[in-house]
Amino acid sequence: MTSDDDSLRYANLMIAVARDADKAAFAALFTHFAPRVKAFLIKSGATPAVAEDCVQDVMATVWRKARMFDPARASVATWIFTIARNRRIDLLRRDRRPEPEDLPWGPEPEPDQLDSLVLQQETERLGEALARLPEDQRALIERAYFGDLSHSQIATATGLPLGTIKSRIRLALEKLRQHMS
């Protein structure tokens, strides 16, 4: 579990990578996230050796795509999760998964500080809610996210409060659209 400060710190490190190609910032992110991505891949069925290789691919992608990270719409953990998930689908030859059309613009060069702050805090709240879930409910979510559940077994919602995060992301999308028109 991270604190609000950690979430913000990682977001700022990502921005340093994106803006200044800051390798020290990248090394700090690597130290925190690479072992977590490795655990995620192993829990998803990869052998430790394969997972080790894949983490390197994932972290190289984190560097390459750093400018796509938008702190008003995702935490660093969320953004890295999506990269790791896509790598896992390739790796385990899961069903092909087309991606939605990209927004026709990248994140704003200077993301709104307050929007980023609130989104990062809300993501922390979600982490706390996840930690408080009853064990069986959390186990079901883990099985889904570690690819150990078929889609027909996900009959109900996760029981996690996603409304506030959704509203913040929606707001950020609207701002981006206004900004572009």
What 38-47 contacts at long range (C-beta under 8 Å, 24+ apart), as own/partner pairs, is: 40/81, 40/84, 40/88, 40/146, 41/84, 41/87, 41/88, 41/91, 43/142, 43/146, 44/88, 44/92, 44/146, 44/147, 44/148, 45/92, 45/146, 45/147, 45/148, 46/88, 46/91, 46/92
Question: In the complex, what is the shortest distance from the CB of residue 113 to other proteins, in angstroms, rounded to a whole number?
Answer: 20
The answer to whether the beta carbons of residues 77 and 28 sit under 8 Å apart is no
Q: Which of 4, 5, 21, 47 binds other proteins (CB under 8 A)?
A: 21
Q: Which of 117, 118, 173, 175 binds other proteins (CB under 8 A)?
A: 173
Chain residues 107-136 in contact with other proteins, contact rule CB under 8 A: 123, 126-127, 130-131
CA angle 154, 158, 160 (to 5 degrees): 170
Q: Does 180 bind other proteins (CB under 8 A)?
A: no
Q: Does 162 bind other proteins (CB under 8 A)?
A: yes
For other proteins, which is the closer residue by CB, 98 or 114?
A: 98
Q: Which of 12, 50, 144, 175 binds other proteins (CB under 8 A)?
A: 144
Q: Which of 13, 51, 54, 91 binds other proteins (CB under 8 A)?
A: 51
What is the x/- site pattern for other proteins, positions 72-101, by CB under 8 A?
Answer: -xxx-xxxxxx-xxx-xx----xxxxxxxx
Tell me how far apart the alpha carbons of residues 135 and 159 are, in angstroms, rounded to a whole number.
13
Q: Does 137 bind other proteins (CB under 8 A)?
A: no
For other proteins, which is the closer residue by CB, 5 or 27?
A: 27
